[in-house]
Amino acid sequence: MGSSPHALFLPYPAQGHVIPFMALAHCLVDHGFKVTFVNTEFNYARLVAALADMEQAASGRIELVTVPDGLDLEDSGGRSDIGKLTAGLLKAMPPCLEELIRRRGDSGDQITCVIADQGMAWTLEVAKKMGVRAAAFWPASAAVLATILSIPELIARGVINANGLPMAEGVFELGPGVLPMNTAYLGWNHLGDRTTRLMLFNYIFDNARATAAADFLLCNSFQELEAPVFAFAPSIIPIGPVRAAHRPGKLVGHLWPEDTACTAWLDGQPPGSVVYVAFGSFTILDRRQFHELALGLELSGRPFLWVVRQDLTDDMADAYPPGFIDRVACKGKMVRWAPQDQVLARPAIGCFISHCGWNSTMEAISNGVPLLCWPYFGDQFVNQTYVCDEWNTGLKMVADESGIITKEEISCKLQELLGDVEVKNRAMALKEAAHRSATDGGSSYQNLTRFVAAMKE
């Protein structure tokens, strides 16, 4: 045993990364680690502003520190442009990180390991250069990570060209039994405009190479969920589901203030009745689609809890269809941001209309909730394929010829999903499998224990 274990956590600065990193940080604290958790200055300000209880910001053995993200602090819109944000990070972060690790060492508070986002794998090289153990954590599916790590083979096989573009349309296989991938769904081709996509493909490719510097490559999945991927890519170690939501009073890492009152509203609804609707932190609906969704929920006649972020659509002041708010007042509840993992655990929840971000997908699994899938970008299409074609725990929304998911489609699919006992049974079976893997003796539990022991050596 060297110095007392002290991990530096470094998530990519987006909501869907900060939450699972915070959950993993709590796990390491349980194992006796001190954690220094790095947020960008911009996200730190949001995180603190979102806290109901400031004491959480000084969360025991987790110390929050900040680094700049290379963008103007006033330029809040710039951070929803992943290309711009990533370029800013690459410019601003490396020297700050080195300085942070060095300063801790100089003050006798030595960082003993770095847990970096695989999406910022270049930081692993910084850690290695400074003689610190390093692990990469990927807060999404192993299937997508295996695809990223296979980029050289995909180029060699002629599946994609050197710019990440498909050479032909259709399905390809990574390895035996691995979820068939569609070239149309390669995540890097669903992020921003053409220039951004090329820049991000090169960034992702560079990160794939830099991942070789990791002593461990962890992901927020579990063995039983994606077994063929772990057989194909044994370097990927599943430790999920990692969850912070069930640690009352502990920091979760929300960047928006949670509407905690909605759980009391949910508890007044009949079991299995409520449709929960949320699209994560990035997705934006155009005005017509926003209206159809509102009308579809109304048409379904089901009670619903709908997360309507301030930036979910243009002009929020006038966003809803005329009279909608009054007509649904008894049945529906709109909130700006929900404590999602806790919401999904409530008995009243019947199903989840989701954009299929990986965290949302894992939270649905962890709570046995069927999904109505409505993917927008990145890895969300792959996650939908898992849900609808592999696990059979949800259904797909189908757009009409103009690209809109109509109110009739929404209402029909809700009736179909909520009436399907088999889907619910499969969702409950996956919940059990997730629970078994993450608790004493389960596969993720054992992997985490091994990882922790190695990081303490």
Q: Which residues bind ligand UDP (CB under 6 A)?
A: 15-16, 19, 254, 278, 280-282, 307, 337-338, 340-341, 357-360, 363
Q: Pick the closer one to ligand UDP by CB: 93 or 277.
A: 277
For residue 110, the Cα-to-chain-centroid distance in whole angstroms is 30
- Nearest distance, CB of residue 152 and ligand UDP, angstroms: 27
Q: Pick the closer one to ligand UDP by CB: 296 or 375.
A: 375
Q: Pick the closer one to ligand UDP by CB: 9 or 282.
A: 282
Residues 6+ apart with CB under 8 A from 450: none
Q: Pick the closer one to ligand UDP by CB: 69 or 363.
A: 363
Measured distance CA(112)–CA(132) in Å, rounded: 6
Which residues, listed in sequence order, are joined to residue 62 by a DSSP beta bridge? 35
Q: Pick the closer one to ligand UDP by CB: 122 or 282.
A: 282
- Nearest distance, CB of residue 388 and ligand UDP, angstroms: 17
N-terminal to C-terminal alpha carbon distance within the chain: 5
Residues 6+ apart with CB under 8 A from 229: 141, 142, 143, 146, 174, 175, 178, 179, 236
Residues 379 and 399 sit within 8 Å (Cβ to Cβ)? no
Q: Pick the closer one to ligand UDP by CB: 104 or 431.
A: 431
- Nearest distance, CB of residue 336 and ligand UDP, angstroms: 8
- Nearest distance, CB of residue 144 and ligand UDP, angstroms: 12
- Nearest distance, CB of residue 211 and ligand UDP, angstroms: 20
- Nearest distance, CB of residue 306 and ligand UDP, angstroms: 10
Which helix or strand (DSSP H or E) is residue 295 part of?
helix 287-300
Q: Pick the closer one to ligand UDP by CB: 163 or 196.
A: 196
- Nearest distance, CB of residue 358 and ligand UDP, angstroms: 5
Nearest to 358, CA basis, from 389, 379, 385, 341: 379
Q: Pick the closer one to ligand UDP by CB: 5 or 357.
A: 357
Q: Pick the closer one to ligand UDP by CB: 254 or 346.
A: 254
Residues 344 and 431 sit within 8 Å (Cβ to Cβ)? no
- Nearest distance, CB of residue 441 and ligand UDP, angstroms: 26
Which residues, listed in sequence order, are joined to residue 372 by a DSSP beta bridge? 353, 395
Beta strands in 210-285 (DSSP E): 216-219, 236-238, 274-278
- The number of beta carbons lying within 10 Å of the beta carbon of residue 126 is 23
- Nearest distance, CB of residue 318 and ligand UDP, angstroms: 22
Measured distance CA(304)–CA(274) in Å, rounded: 5
| Per-residue tokens: 90 | 């690459």
Residues 313 and 336 sit within 8 Å (Cβ to Cβ)? no
What is the amino acid identity at position 411? S
